[in-house]
Structure 1
Amino acid sequence: MTAVLEALGLLFQPGIVQTVVLGAALLGGLAGALGAFAVLRQQSLLGDALSHATLPGVCLGFLVAGSRDLGAILLGAFLAGGLAALSIMLITRATRLKTDAALGIVLSVFFAAGVVLLTVAQGQPGAAQAGLSTFLFGQAAAILRTDLWIMSGVAALAAGTLAALWKEVKLVTFDPDYARALGLPVLLIEGVVTLLIALAIVVGLQLAGVILMVALLIAPAAAARQWVRSLGAMVWLSAGLGAAAGITGALISATGRGLSTGPVVVLVASALVLASMLLAPERGLIWRWGRAARARRGIAGRRVLAAFHGLAEAHDDPAYPTEEGMLTTLIGRPGPGVMERLERDGMIRRVDHPPETTRHWELTERGHDRAKRDQGGRP
């Protein structure tokens, strides 16, 4: 409780913590909203490929500028990410390779080139002070107030573009073949969405870094996918979960010593995915386990009713008392709680059958009707 109050106190005090929290919220919301399209297009690896592909652009930006010029570095990162996106689209359309193979090729080639250029850049004068390696894992403390305006501008650009092209983007996301048949520029629309994702990755390099940025794209969208069914709801919920993960992770890192903001934000987002996979209605594992258990109990109950009904018809006695051992011989043990549930639902009732002292049951009229319906007959 003390840690929570301390974190809230830091949030309302102007300074680096407030800047980092706002930056993490903006980045989480932006990445979450755009990540929904990557998840639905089954291109979750796209964010990974583009984030790794920005590394050579970061290094080239430093080498061209000769110093840690953030504008040059981010421009280089965006150009490299855009080139990687175009390379992926070209490979998938000019060859027989599928998207996953193209993503793997571009990711490995661009990241390898980035590592080589990083080695070259670190040998230049002033490279130690430039801190290029921080772009691998992010350094939230380096975020400035001016960076928040850049993030806000990119977020506004993404929101405006999606609002203007919402119907087209929605159709291309779910049925690109039909969109192409309608004459829509599918390649152009996919390119616009991909470039927006690249922009989000570029502005998030300082906070999350090249390696962890993909988690901010995919985790909120994967969590949101468990709760909603429509694209609009998924985009909004994914943005909200991303922003919540950013705020929570930034506050946790602010109250702990030596905790990097980017990794903490990613861990919070991953926790949201895990909670969603377990708790979401209909799609969550707990709900599915419960549904499977109810189905098993329902099947066991129908087998019991069928056995009772068959014995009653064989003995020409609707109230024929069935003994527990006879039922076990016919269908095996019905399972824990099955007989109690049928009795509670008014399908069967316990009866005495002197001189025998073992438990006996008989079908009620409701139980007979249910057994006939299960067998396809008329009650």
Structure 2
Amino acid sequence: MEAWWRALIFDAGYNTSLVTLGAMLLGCGAGMIGSFVLLRKRSLVSDAISHATLPGLALAFILMALVFGDGRWMPGLLVGAGLSAAAGLWAVQAISHRTRLGEDAAIGAVLSTFFGLGVVLLTVIQSLAVSGQAGLTGYLVGSTAGMLAAEAQLIALCSLLLAIGVIVMRRDFLMVCFDPVFAATNGVRVQRVDMLLMLLLLAVVVIGLRITGLILIVALTIIPPVTGRFWTDRPLRVVALAALIGALAGYLGVTLSSVREGLPTGPLVVLASFVLFLISFLLSPRRGILATLIAHQRFKRRVHLRQGLLALARDEAIFDDLTMRVLRRQGFIRRDGVATPSGWAAARDAEHEERLWALHRRYYPEDAAQLDHRGLLPIERVLSPDTIMVLENRLMSSRETHP
């Protein structure tokens, strides 16, 4: 626990602190770009891109190993992974646009083919008489152990540039995600913006290879945006929350992996993001399970209260136990089931409102169709005073016509 606390307060060494900062910036950028990819409904493309990095990574290692004797030069590996991922992205778009196959089929074909090729190349690398083969497996699930300060600086710098790029292009991304036709009429080049979005996603995947690994980097682009969606409906707020959640997941995951030697960084980052997702899933005041259950119970009590009051107004017998409990809790009936004076008054008001709602549904059917269960709320909280006055006049006229 002490070792983790030291890592949390950036007191576990320069290299660990730098890696933690780089992971936070990576999580921030991944959450931001992942939000736009999620809104564009292309989240699985990141899965294809991440798996497509493996053959490029392996080929770059082989080439550098044959030339220099050691293939573990991180910039070269990232360039190879980037080129391979770009080829995988081009293959997905070419298959989905030039054939009758959907994007999901194209993703499946590219993902399996590129990853299979990468596994074969990794097997070839193990037979080479060069150094550095053992560390290459760290790019599969992420590993910060033994990361050089220069490598950590490169990750931090690239992640910072990525986050800045997403911030600059956020408005064009939003327009393209929600309405490409409207974006085109406003002078936005939709295809170029789409390509830039995919390139930034590719950059996230390539940068995150060392920290989360090519298999789990996709989670860092999906889980934070989905988590942020639990808390707000505003797109830019979702982006901001996803960036914050991604940074927090990177912070917690890397610091946990530094506690003991051999702990994988990528799985811990993903698990940290999942814990944040689970907390939001349970406790979010908008869409959380707990809030949903509470809202359901409140709605259920409103329904029983309304039906109970209408039954009192119409002098009907009440047999439901929950309805009796709700009315008794509100002080509208006594323990023997007899209505109190306040209960009779509330029953008359409920009957009167029910007639007004019936007139509203009759004369304003389109407006009534848009009011979801609003008949359970006081009418003055839903309709305007002018509309209520019109309904009152119609109700009075109908009573005079049919006394």
Structure 1 counterpart of 2:311, one-letter code:
A
Within the alignment, does 1:309 sit opposite 2:313 as a pair? yes
Deviations 1:45-100 (A, max 9, x none): 12211111100110111122122222221101001111111222222222233222
Deviates more, 1:251-260 or 1:104-113: 251-260
Q: Which amino acid aligns with 1:371?
A: E
Do the aligned partners of 1:304 and 1:334 also contact (CA within 8 Å) in 2?
no
Task: Kindly indicate whether residue 354 of structure 2 is the aligned counterpart of residue 374 of structure 1.
Answer: yes
Q: Does the Cα contact within 8 Å between 2:162 and 2:203 map onto a contact in 1?
A: no
Instruction: Name 2:318's counterpart in structure 1.
Output: 327
Match of 2:24 in 1: 25
User: Residue type matched to 1:31 in 2?
Assistant: A
Aligned length: 352
Q: Following the alignment from structure 1 to structure 2, what is the Cα–Cα distance between the partners of residues 269 and 151?
A: 20
1:159 to 1:211, Cα distance in 2 relative to 1, 3 A = closer
Q: Is 1:186 aligned to 2:190, yes or no?
A: yes
Structure 1 residues 104, 285: closer, same or farther in 2, change over 3 A? same
Q: Partner of 2:295 in structure 1? A: 291
| Secondary structure in 1 matching 2:59 | helix
Q: Which runs of structure 2 are paired with 1:1-379 in the superposition (5 Å)?
A: 2=2, 5-8=5-8, 11-66=10-65, 67-126=71-130, 129-182=133-186, 184-256=188-260, 258-311=262-315, 326-328=317-319, 333-335=320-322, 338-345=323-330, 348-350=332-334, 358-361=336-339, 363-375=343-355, 376=357
* 1:43 CA displacement: 1.9
Aligned residue in 2 for 1:318: none
Shift of 1:194: 0.7
SS in 1 for 2:338: strand
Aligned counterparts of 1:180 and 1:74: Cα–Cα separation in 2: 34
Deviation (angstroms), 1:112:
1.4
What's the CA shift string for 1:6-43, capped at 9, x where partnerless?
4446x224333223322221221121111111221222
Q: In structure 2, do the counterparts of structure 1 residues 40 and 53 end up closer, same or farther at CA, with 3 Å as the change threshold? A: same
Distance in 2, matches of 1:359 and 1:160, equals: 67
Shift of the 110–5 alpha-carbon distance from structure 1 to 2, 3 Å rule, reads: closer
Shift of residue 280, structure 1, vs aligned partner: 1.5
Runs of 5+ consecutive residues of structure 1 not aligned to the other structure: 313-325, 352-357
Report the aligned-residue RMSD. Answer: 2.4
Identity of aligned residues (%): 35
Q: Give the aligned residue type for 1:327.
A: I
Q: CA deviation at 1:172?
A: 0.7
Q: Measure, in 2, the Cα distance between the counterparts of 1:374 and 1:257.
A: 69
The one-letter code sitting in structure 1 at the alignment partner of 2:194 is E
Q: 1:160 to 1:207 in 2, by over 3 A?
A: closer
CA displacement, residues 183-214 of structure 1 (integer Å, 9 cap, x when unaligned): 53222111111111111111111111111111
Between Structure 1 and Structure 2, which shows a larger proportion of strand residues? 1
Question: 2: distance between equivalents of 1:234 and 1:81?
Answer: 27
SS in 1 for 2:334: strand
Letter in 1 for 2:111: L
For 2:142 and 2:2, the matched residues in 1 are separated by 28
> Do the aligned partners of residues 271 and 13 (structure 1) sit closer, same or farther apart at CA in structure 2, a change above 3 Å counting?
closer
What is the CA–CA distance in structure 2 between the aligned matches of 1:38 and 1:359, rounded to whole Å? 58
Distance 1:262 1:99, change over 3 A: same
Q: 1:90 to 1:284 in 2, by over 3 A?
A: same
Distance 2:25 2:168 in 1: 21
Give, in whole Å, the separation in 1 of the partners of 2:83 and 2:16: 31
Match of residue 376 from structure 2: none
Note closer, same or farther for the CA distance 1:121–1:255 as it changes in structure 2 (3 Å cut). closer
Deviation (angstroms), 1:182: 4.8
Taking structure 1 as reference, are residues 50 and 240 closer, same or farther at Cα in structure 2, changes over 3 Å only?
same
Change (3 A) 1:90 1:176: farther
Partners of 1:164 and 1:243 in 2: how far apart?
Answer: 19
Instruction: Provide closer, same or farther for how the CA distance between residues 233 and 92 of structure 1 changes in structure 2, counting only shifts above 3 A.
Output: same
Q: Matched residues in 2 for 1:160 and 1:259: separation?
A: 31
